[in-house]
């Protein structure tokens, strides 16, 4: 708890006021990622590999944008920074450990930007949601990566929707998930979508006790790779079950 409290305190001054309420989610993720580093290692390596494959397919390497850059555990930041003129990391919160890494490694061509990528506020205002429309204004953009972000967008939108159901469309979650996918596929840059699409709660005997579609029925692009990610290994929350997510990479 002491480490988490220190990370929270160190992150707070560098986070804009509208996004400070999300710091605890990032700190909790940091803590779980450290505890589950062995079980998450294959997922993180698979994600990095998918991003590198997408990078290899770029004819030009001027600007790369990573949506949902998070803790950078699953992002090959060293290779991206070495191969692109500019790398832009976008997330709601950039924790202090990430900022320290950027300074320590002297990634002078890497930029950190805070941004809500859900599109919820536009939809609430009665506008057509285009959460990735800002990418049209990024000069010389050659690669966009959505890194294990889309299911988190869906969860966050679901929480807000349930609290404000009376003023939002019934298909709010589905609209915003679809808008993210559309934003990656309809613009003239190379894109790489890595996302968990479903999860299952599995007991110690290997029996599935619960399943859920994290994409809420929205059609996904064709996957180039797929794998299982034990997000909650046995012993993390309970000695009796684990939670395993199914992940796809579509580049």
> How far is the C-alpha of 86 from the C-alpha of 140, rounded, in Å?
9
pLDDT in tens, 49-93: 999 999 999 999 999 999 999 999 999 999 999 999 999 999 999
Tell me what pLDDT residue 104 has.
87
Of 179, 95, 94, 64, give the one whose Cα is nearest residue 131: 179
Q: CATH top-level class for 2-191?
A: alpha beta
Longest dimension (CA), the chain: 53
CB-based contacts of 182, cutoff 8 Å, min separation 6: none
Question: What one-character DSSP code corresponds to residue 151?
Answer: H
Query: 124: which 2 tokens?
Result: 């609430």
pLDDT in tens, 119-164: 999 999 999 999 999 999 999 999 999 999 999 999 999 999 999 9
Identify the three-state secondary structure at position 249: strand
Extents of the domains making up the chain: 2-191
> How far is the C-alpha of 82 from the C-alpha of 136, rounded, in Å?
24
CA distances from 138 to 35, 87, 142, 143 (A): 37, 11, 10, 11
pLDDT in tens, 40-58: 999 999 999 999 999 999 9
Identify the three-state secondary structure at position 146: strand
Of 199, 213, 181, give the one whose Cα is nearest residue 241: 199
Question: What one-character DSSP code corresponds to residue 137?
Answer: G
């Amino acid at each position: 708890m002491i480490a988490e409290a220190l990370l929270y305190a160190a992150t707070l001054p560098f986070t804009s006021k509208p996004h400070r309420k999300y710091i605890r989610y990032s700190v909790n993720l940091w803590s779980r990622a450290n505890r589950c580093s062995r079980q998450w290692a294959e997922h993180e390596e698979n994600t990095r590999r998918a991003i590198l494959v997408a990078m290899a397919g770029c004819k030009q390497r001027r600007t790369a944008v990573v949506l949902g850059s998070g803790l950078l555990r699953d992002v090959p930041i060293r290779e991206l920074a070495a191969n692109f003129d500019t790398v832009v990391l976008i997330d709601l919160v950039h924790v202090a450990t990430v900022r320290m890494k950027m300074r320590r490694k002297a990634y002078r061509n890497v930029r950190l930007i805070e941004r809500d990528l859900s599109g919820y506020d536009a939809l609430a205002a009665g506008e057509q949601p285009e959460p990735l429309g800002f990418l049209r204004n990024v000069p010389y953009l050659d690669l966009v990566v959505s890194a294990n972000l889309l299911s988190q967008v869906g969860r966050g939108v679901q929480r807000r929707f349930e609290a404000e159901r009376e003023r939002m469309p019934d298909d709010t979650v589905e609209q915003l998930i679809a808008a993210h996918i559309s934003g990656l596929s309809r613009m003239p840059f190379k894109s790489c979508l890595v996302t968990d699409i479903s999860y299952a709660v599995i007991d110690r005997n290997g029996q599935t006790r619960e399943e859920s579609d994290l994409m809420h029925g929205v059609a996904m692009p064709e996957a180039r790779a797929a794998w299982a990610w034990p997000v909650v290994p046995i012993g993390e929350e309970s000695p009796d079950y684990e939670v395993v997510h199914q992940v796809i990479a579509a580049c």
